[in-house]
Every structure is written in C-alpha cells, then in structure tokens.
Amino acid sequence: MYFNRIVILLSILLLLVPITSAQTDEKKTEVFVGFSALAAQNALTNRDVKTFDGFTPEQFRALAGFELLDQDRYVPGYGFEANVTRYFSKHVGLSGDFSGYYGKRYARIADSVFKADHSIYYVMAGPKVRLLNEHRANVFFHALAGAAHTRVSYREDFTTNPTTANDSSTRFAFALGGGVDLRVNNRVSLRLFQLDYIPMLGKDRRVTASDGTVVDINGRAQQGNFRVSAGIVFR
C-alpha cells in the first residue's frame, strides 16, 4: 500500500511539471529508456538475522557446528530503467524515474539449499542538471528520492515437500549519480553510461516459512547498491 501511494504521488508530480514550466522559454521533455544492471546488497547474512526459530546465528553455530547462512551479500540484478525529465530551463529540470531488477541465486540456509528469486523496483523523482556544450557529448547529474520495493521468494531444492518463504518490504530510497549522453541529432541521443549510488534505508521485519520457521531480521541502516544504465534518449 505504501509503495502504491508513492507511485501515485510521483505520477501527479510529473503531470504538474509541464503546467508549472509553461511560462519558461525552454519547454523540453526528455525520455530515457534502456538496460540497467544493479549490484544489490540484497542477500541475507548472519549479520542480518536477529533470531532463527528463537536462536541467534551465534547460538545456531554453537549447536549445529556450521553457519546459519552464506556470507555472500551482493546479488546481481538485471532489468530496465525509464526516466522522464521536464526542463524548466536549458540546464535544470525535474526527473521521474522507474526501474526494475531481477535476479536469482542459490543459497544455503541452515544446511538446506534454497533457490532465491530476487526483484527490486524503484520509483523516484528529483532535480537534474545537464551541462550542454558545442560538442556531441553532454554530461548530466541528478539527485532522486522515493521508494524501493524488494521481494525475495525462497524455495527449498532437492526435496519432494519443499519449504517456501517470502521476504518483502518497501523502503525509502535515493539515487545520486550522473552520466554522459552522446547526441545523434536534435531528437535522439545515446546514453553511453549512467552510474548511480542507489541505497535504501532498512527496517526490521519478520518472515514465516511454510514449515512454521520464524526468522526475525534486522533492518540494515543502508543497502549500498550501485547501478549502471545505458540506452536511448528521446527529446
């Protein structure tokens, strides 16, 4: 519900931008669509689990003789990014950004192997500055803020009656970054690259698996995610 409200508010904001900029000399709208990759700190490690069926990771290791979870935090995600910018002037505008990322990995949890399907969606908006020049390559920077919705679906492998679990949450997120556009003509440019630091704030949550196992998860202060995008810009 919170994620849906963020989407609606940002959509209304973008619809109001052309109205507020109607009296300016620059009435340019820019649309970017392209491929995007995300290096996401989305995998749980022992540092993230408060209790696993009442046991802390340290207690579990002492009793079982092995670690509760893998220690590999990063999950690669691949997907898309779409961005609309309305410029108030030649250099400054307001951007709305929507992106989605998908990935899967195999994880060992309590000595069982699970397939984990990851998805992350970002909806953000904020100011953008472009540095135009006489050359074909132009640099831009943006600062965006909004929400990120994450979901991980776990399914136990190599068993006839698999245990399943879903871990999802909506969090505040922001993106700081920029990139380079190569102008093809007055209407089309190629976005050679865009690089963003795109963390999200964490919060505590509880996950209950289909076999009744309850996992309490610490909210991480930040997920230090990074993304890179490339594609086509239309004006």
Nearest to 70 by CA among 35, 108, 98, 37: 108
Q: Across residues 169-173, what is the average pLDDT?
A: 92
- pLDDT of res. 222: 62
Question: Is the predicted pLDDT of residue 212 greater than 80, yes or no?
Answer: yes
pTM of the entire predicted model: 0.84
Range of the domain at 153: 2-234
Dihedral angle sign, alpha carbons of residues 218, 116, 230, 30: negative
Distance (Å, rounded) from C-alpha 1 to C-alpha 30?
A: 30
Q: Predicted confidence band at 149 (pLDDT cuts at 50, 70, 90)?
A: very high
Nearest to 30 by CA among 177, 140, 192: 140
CA distances (Å), origin 48, targets 11, 75, 134: 34, 15, 50
Distance (Å, rounded) from C-alpha 77 to C-alpha 92?
A: 31
Q: How many domains does the chain have?
A: 1
Q: Which two tokens stand for residue 34?
A: 């392209």
- pLDDT of res. 150: 93
Question: Is the predicted pLDDT of residue 125 greater than 50, yes or no?
Answer: yes
Strands 164-183 and 214-217: unpaired
Question: Is the predicted pLDDT of residue 163 greater than 90, yes or no?
Answer: yes
Q: Please check whether residue 175 is in contact with residue 146, taking contact to mean a CB–CB distance below 8 angstroms.
A: no
- pLDDT of res. 180: 96
187-212 in b/e form (b: 16+ CB < 10 A) is: eebbbeebebebbbebeeeebebeee
CA distances (Å), origin 164, targets 74, 94, 137: 22, 42, 49
Tens digits of residue pLDDT in 77-112:
999 999 999 999 889 999 999 999 999 999 899 989
Q: Across residues 132-140, what is the average pLDDT?
A: 86
For the ranges 19-33, 68-82, 167-181, the lowest mean pLDDT is seen at: 19-33
Q: Across residues 30-59, what is the average pLDDT?
A: 93
CATH number at 143 reads 2.40.160.20
Neighbours of 39 (CB within 10 A): 16
